[in-house]
Amino acid sequence: MSSPGPASREKIFQWLLTLLDRSADSWSPSQRAFLLSLLEGEEGTKTLVQMAVTTARLRASGLKPEELGPLWAMHQAIADFWDDPSPETYRNLHTAGRFLDSDS
């Protein structure tokens, strides 16, 4: 599968905004550029879509942090990423994911 073109990336970006219940000005220009750069590749697109769906599902579930058990760390890393999409918070997602893998 090839990477999506600029129009497709923008559609996916708009879908993310809708699913996450955010406005177009939720992120700074540099944060938006970082998100769009992730959407240039298949892996980045897949990761962002999965995180957005996970965020929406957890929000809809009404589960409290203590009910998430070890998933809470991953949920928090995802929330931190959406609050500040950057290379650092993206790396933190991988750290949380490794921790979750080692915990199972």
pLDDT digits (tens, 9 = 90+) for 13-66: 999 999 999 998 999 999 999 999 999 999 999 999 999 999 999 889 988 878
Q: What is the pLDDT of residue 87?
A: 95
Q: Where are the domains of the chain?
A: 6-17+28-103
Q: What is the pLDDT of residue 84?
A: 96
DSSP state of 50: H
Q: Give the C-alpha separation, 16 to 49, whole Å.
A: 7
pLDDT, tens digit, for every residue of 38-49?
A: 999 999 999 999
Q: Give the C-alpha separation, 68 to 29, whole Å.
A: 33
| 30-33 contacts, C-beta under 8 A, 24 or more apart | 31/84, 31/85, 31/86
Q: Give the C-alpha separation, 39 to 47, whole Å.
A: 9
* Cα separations in angstroms, 76 against 10, 70, 92, 93: 26, 11, 10, 9
What is the pTM (predicted TM-score) of this model? 0.84
